[in-house]
Amino acid sequence: MTTPGPNQIDALFGAGGGGAGPATAAPVRRSEVRPYDFRRPNLISKDHMRALQAMYGTLVKTLEGWVNARTRGDAELHLISVDQLTFGEFVMTLTNPCSSFIYDVSNAAQQAVIDFGREFAFFLVDRLLGANGVPYVLERPLTSVERMIVRIVADWLVDQLRETWGDYVSLAFELDRFESIPDMLHAANREDPVLVANVLARTAGLESPLYVCLPFAILEKFFTNAGFRHHRVAHTNPAERAAELAQIERTLRTVSVSVTARLPEFAVSLSELRALASGHMLLTGLAADAPVTLYIEGQPRFVGTSGNASGTLAIRVDQASTGPTAGGASTVHRNPIIMQNNEPVPAGAGASTISELQAAGTTLPPAALSSLMTVTLPVSIELGRTRMTLQEIMELGRGSLVQLDRLVGEPIDVMVGDRHFAQGEVVVMGEQFGVRITRIMGAPATTETP
């Protein structure tokens, strides 16, 4: 059996298939396509990247001049890149042992890292102590005396960083500690974004990196024009965190969400749905006092009783929903009856028009179409909708009244799954709830004459 396509299904519902075909997208060259990393969205625009390269380029050349004035001109420094990384990725680039100075950034509860490559660190120790020639590079951490010497350069560099960023962000640095083991660097959470300047130092025939790592959170003002907002809460004190959570809660309570009132679902075969027409009455098999489920953004949350308030349909809340099946929300075959002029419409009335379906654009064989007509679909009666804030929803309890956007006497909606299938008026026949169909959606509107 061939699986029916979307156009065939639309034909079965009477929607027709005469519309234009699907639009064809322009071909995209493979070189233009790359996966988007949702774990690390790009936070740097092209304009900001150009500004960063100019800022750090000037900083590096200033550092080169300062170092050469104290080491007799043996150093060349080149800015390789300014990159957005996570702090975990930055740590993985460091050698072990490393030579990292961690600075507290005043008034920001953040930390910056200046890391000297092994060769560059020993070059600075060698030259600042007055030695010449190729420095002897040891594969060990710096001693306390060597750290004090390299710190002279690190302190000068963070002062230059403060001036470089002064036009955009007010920064003040204070040394917190020195670290020689990369895995012991805890200046930020591993997934936090950081801005890393990668500098190549050529000294006395050796090449070595120099890294300047700043957290994105302290540079927020610089990226404001790009719409970047990064709120980091890991290092805030408890009072600040409590105030922030209170603000978040106040904001969330004002969020507006959709509320939908529906009667319990029942199952109707495709054949019976095909038989429906304006003027027919659909008896649902539901009791006239069937409970109504209130859906909050498509999720069943409350069960109540239908009524009216000030001329509009309303639902009185009886209890909170305990799950998808509360209030009869699950699909149950309730043996609905379709009636016309108080006489039942034959169940197979819609199945006898297979030739019409084929003329409408279906390509299935008659046997397959007959089999398809026995498929049952979930049908529900939607009494109305409204919008409420989360604060209002949180205040709902037994006896609360929810007014819908539909006046008493206005047509209600018959939904097949999530599709608006028909409109009609509410009727009661005996003890059963029903709907007198006034319009099949997609069919031409008819004007009743007296």
pLDDT digits (tens, 9 = 90+) for 106-115: 766 789 999 9
Instruction: Say yes or no: 230 and 377 in one domain.
Output: no
Number of structural domains the chain divides into: 2
Higher-confidence position of 351 and 223: 223
* Residue % of the chain over a pLDDT of 70: 75
Instruction: Say yes or no: 163 and 227 in one domain.
Output: yes
Task: Give the list of residues 6+ apart from residue 353 with CB closer than 8 angstroms, or none.
Answer: 274
Predicted model pTM:
0.46
Q: Is the pLDDT of residue 9 over 50?
A: no
Contact 87, 192 (CB under 8 A): yes
Instruction: Say yes or no: 196 and 266 in one domain.
Output: no
Instruction: Say yes or no: 231 and 287 in one domain.
Output: no
Q: Quick check: is 6 in a domain?
A: no
* Residue % of the chain over a pLDDT of 90: 40
Q: Quick check: is 199 in a domain?
A: yes
Instruction: Say yes or no: 206 and 59 in one domain.
Output: yes
Give the position of tokens 């390269």: 53
CATH of residue 410: 2.30.330.10
Q: Quick check: is 12 in a domain?
A: no
Instruction: Say yes or no: 218 and 158 in one domain.
Output: yes
- Cα–chain-centroid distance for residue 128? 53
Q: Quick check: is 161 in a domain?
A: yes
Residue ranges of alpha helices (H) inside 134-259 are 144-164, 238-253
Q: Quick check: is 74 in a domain?
A: yes
Instruction: Say yes or no: 116 and 154 in one domain.
Output: yes
Q: Is the pLDDT of residue 257 over 80?
A: yes
Give the position of tokens 């920064």: 171
Q: Quick check: is 421 in a domain?
A: yes
Instruction: Say yes or no: 386 and 314 in one domain.
Output: yes
For 383-438, how does the pLDDT look when each residue is reduced to its tens digit (9 = 90+)?
999 999 999 999 999 999 999 998 888 999 999 988 899 999 988 888 888 889 99
Cα separation, 331 vs 344, in Å, equals: 23
Instruction: Say yes or no: 71 and 197 in one domain.
Output: yes
For 238-251, how does the pLDDT look when each residue is reduced to its tens digit (9 = 90+)?
888 888 888 888 88
Look at the alpha carbons of 312, 318, 323, 324 in this order and tell me if their dihedral is positive or negative: negative
Top mean-pLDDT range of 185-199, 327-341, 421-435: 185-199
Instruction: Say yes or no: 311 and 406 in one domain.
Output: yes
Q: Quick check: is 247 in a domain?
A: no
Instruction: Say yes or no: 194 and 324 in one domain.
Output: no
DSSP state of 156: H
- Domain limit, last residue, from 235, 268, 303: 235
As a whole number, mean pLDDT of residues 82-105 equals: 93
Name which of 169-178, 354-363, 403-412 the model is least confident about.
Answer: 354-363
CATH of residue 103: 3.40.1550.10
User: How many Cα neighbours within 13 Å face the side chain of 218?
Assistant: 26
| Mean pLDDT value across the chain | 80
As a whole number, mean pLDDT of residues 60-72 equals: 89
Q: What pLDDT shows up at residue 366?
A: 65
User: Comparing C-alpha atoms, which of 263, 311, 259, 261 is closest to residue 428?
Assistant: 263
Task: Give the list of residues 6+ apart from residue 18 with CB closer than 8 angstroms, or none.
Answer: none
Q: Quick check: is 183 in a domain?
A: yes
Instruction: Say yes or no: 213 and 70 in one domain.
Output: yes
- Domain limit, last residue, from 202, 235, 268: 235
Domain with 105 in it: 46-235
Angle among Cα 81, 85, 86 to the nearest 5 degrees reads 160
